Amino acid sequence: MSLDKMRNIGIMAHIDAGKTTTTERILYYTGKIHKIGEIDDGQATMDWMAQEQERGITICSAATTTYWKDHQINIIDTPGHVDFTAEVERSLRVLDGAVAVICAVDGVQPQTETVWKQADSFNVPRIGFMNKMDRIGADFFGSMEDVHNKFGTDCLALQIPIGEGPEFEGVIDLIKMKEIRWDEASEGEKFEETDIDASRLDQANEWREKLIDMVASSDDALAEKYLEGAEITNDELKKAIRAGTINRTFVPFVMGSARHNQGVQPLIDAIVDYLPSPIEVPPAKGLHIKKDKEEEIEVECKENGNALGLVFKIQHDREMGSLCYVRMYSGKINSGTQVFNVGKKKRERVNRILRMHSNKSEPMESVSAGDIAVFIGLKLSQTGDTLGSEGLPVLLESVKFPEPVISIAIEPESLSERDKMNEVLEILSKEDPTFTHHEDAETGQLIISGMGELHLDVLVTRMKDDFGVQCRVGAPQVTYREAVTAEGTAKEEFSKVLAGKENTAGVTIKVSPRDQGTGNDYRLSFNRKDIPDEIIEAIEQSVKSSLDSGIQYGYPCTDTMVEVTAIDYNETTSTTFAFASCTAQAFDAACKNAAPQLFEPVMNVEISCPKEFVGEAMSQVTQRGGMVLGQDSKVSSELVHAQAPMAKMFGFSTNLRSATQGRASFTMEFSHFQLKPDGLGSAW
């Protein structure tokens, strides 16, 4: 398959906008599955985990490959729930284009905003699919206007609806200028194209003019023809729409009702016609690691280049072990060969390469630039690792994940289960970078941390059901952070005789606060000449583990800059052990001089409820020490935007439901860490 015939796409949306249903239809019409699975029946192909079928939500971003009109389409189905942000983030990192599924009734919903902004940060071109056009209250033009107002994006209607809501019967294609209706008896597989009815011709001509006008404003050659009044062919129009989509000048929109098998084939056509191939997106950026320096280079997507791929997801399989999902950016990797893990500086063997279809698979002999496949046999690789060759060690930019904000204590039901539980926790944290676990030094309890109550609930259920670990779970606890609020410097000396050998080191460290939300950073600003690499590595590792283990309360540090300004190195007595210990001592001393404080997580809360319950919903937030930031009116409900400290939000859903007669729903995601003025109480 040539690279220009390949599409790597993701399907992103708010929870319940119909994302997985749309993916099911795409697989059905492209012949990948022979029966349409429904989420409502727990039969969706892409939601293959038992819990996904029970809860009716997507948790893992399943990957699948399908074919349409001589094109290969690699689809990654991503979750819509905010607790699974990491899944969305890591998928967007490796995609070339995306389909944004938007509900025609509700328009832009809170999680739509989150994924849209994530796609913006990765510069992912996208097309829109306005779903649920047959629902009461569906408004294609209103929802497009909502997208335009929320994101400042120009929306390009490629179709207009024939009727809306229960009267929705098909679409008018503004490029072919034909009416399309889907046949119910064949589950939408057959559709009929007819000439536009005279009663709708004026509206169709008006919207085609708008389409040509918007496209021409981004294409000089087309603009010239348009102004001269010359005939613009459909091929010229499609070519210009493709260029505008890839440059993110506008977002083309098609529509339908995936649940009722309407509008999916034109969506697949739009994926092939307008979303970029791997050679049409800017080259990936990577760091070429040379002996004395790192140099940023661009990685061209070509099959005969040096092998280079990014591990963007890891999934555990009972029979095969770790499945590493890899996006290839350059070169080719064959099954049964060795690859070099650039970050870990270790070689690993790729035993097998698989092409995945949801949770089924077929073997491949090799995988080349631009493609996505699963590697089996990699023991050390983790999400974000780069696989390449020792001849050209290039480190691709790793995926950055948000910090976990909620913790629970967990313990095995019997001592014999302890080892098994630790093993399973290792597997789960390797799969999901936003899930961490550690042992509390004071209580000896095992603490697991994640992005929200649902996130941890899903993981604990997986431990019990998928891995058979019997465990007891404590009440959720907030994960606080520590940070310095001033500058502090400390110099420490280390000298100890161990096993008859002297170990010496001297380290000077300066710590200072960073801007809110920027995370930790460290810098080695001393002269590295004549200092062995293992000493430098020992200092770096010690700084990292010191930041993780905190200052006063044992919570990880955030927004803290650590600078190692000077070291005392003696080639006869200095050891890695001495420097690791000395760095940790200097870090502690510097932080104590820099006014350390405790910070608590603050959450963005979005509540959707009918007009008559807005007062009750707002009062539920303010009672918990939250702040209402604003309110939007939707067709069917009101949307309240608020922020509240995580510590006060446990059990919020129960209270909100009882206050609004069960008619309100809410989403909550981490916003930032904020200073707790009393050290342990809330800052609100």
Question: Biggest alpha carbon distance in the chain?
Answer: 98
Exposure pattern of 419-451 as b/e (b: 16+ CB <10 Å)?
A: ebbeebbebbbbbbbbbbbbeeeeeeebbbbbb
pLDDT of residue 77: 63
Q: What is the pLDDT of residue 431?
A: 77
- Whether the CA torsion 429, 389, 373, 113 is positive or negative: it is positive
Please provide the DSSP assignment of 70-109 as one string: TEEEEEEE---SGGGHHHHHHHHHH-SEEEEEEETTTBS-
Q: Please, which residues bridge with residue 674 across strands?
A: 600
Q: Are 633 and 668 in contact (CB under 8 A)?
A: no
pLDDT reported for residue 603: 87
Residue 477, H or E segment? strand 477-478
- The one-letter amino acid at 453: E
Say which amino acid occupies 261.
N
Residue type, 481: R
Number of separate helices (H) and strands (E) present in the chain: 15, 38
Nearest to 94 by CA among 309, 360, 403, 272: 309
Enumerate the β-bridge partners of residue 386.
310
Return the number of other C-beta atoms located less than 10 Å from residue 1's C-beta.
12
Cα separation of 542 and 585, whole Å?
10
664 in helix, strand or coil? coil
CA distance 417 to 614: 48
**What does the alpha-carbon distance between residue 524 and residue 505 come to, in Å, rounded to a whole number?**
16
Burial of 318 per CB tally in 10 Å (0-12, 13-18, 19+): exposed
Q: What tokens appear for 111 in the block?
A: 């999680």
Supply 372's token pair: 């996505």
pLDDT score, position 490: 93
In angstroms, the CA 39 to CA 19 distance is 10
pLDDT lower than 50: segments of the chain: 37-61, 80, 359, 679-684
What pLDDT does residue 324 have? 86
Structure tokens at 670: 């981490």
Alpha-carbon dihedral sign for residues 350, 352, 353, 356: negative
pLDDT in tens, 426-461: 888 877 778 888 887 666 778 888 877 778 888 888
> Residue 531: is it exposed, middle or buried by C-beta count within 10 angstroms (0-12/13-18/19+)?
middle
Instruction: Round to whole Å and give the CA distance between 76 and 99.
Output: 10
Alpha helices, H only, 434-503: 453-465
Task: Note the pLDDT of residue 62.
Answer: 56
- The tokens of 524 are what? 């080695």
For residue 141, the model assigns a pLDDT of 92
Amino acid found at 550: G
Using DSSP, state whether 319 is helix, strand or coil.
Answer: coil
Taken as a whole, the chain contains a residue count of: 684
Convert the pLDDT of each residue in 297-326 to its tens digit: 888 888 888 889 988 888 777 777 778 888
Q: What is the model's pLDDT at position 53?
A: 40
| Four-CA torsion 189, 53, 100, 11, nearest 10 degrees | -80
- Residues contacting 128, CB < 8 A, separation 6+: 99, 100, 101, 102, 144, 147, 155, 251, 252, 253, 254
Q: What's the DSSP call for residue 551?
A: S
Residue whose token pair is 């290839």 = 328
C-alpha separations of 261 from 210, 324, 589 in Å:
28, 34, 65
Q: What does the pLDDT read at residue 33?
A: 53
- How many whole angstroms separate alpha carbon 210 and alpha carbon 214? 6
Residue 520 has φ and ψ, to the nearest 5°, of -90, 160
User: What is the reported pLDDT for 304?
Assistant: 86
The span from the CA of 335 to the CA of 56, in Å, is: 36
pTM exceeding the 0.75 threshold for the entire prediction:
no
Beta bridge partners of 100: 12, 128
Residue 10 has a pLDDT of 86
Domains of the chain: 3-274 (3.40.50.300), 284-396 (2.40.30.10), 406-479 (3.30.70.870), 482-594 (3.30.230.10), 598-675 (3.30.70.240)
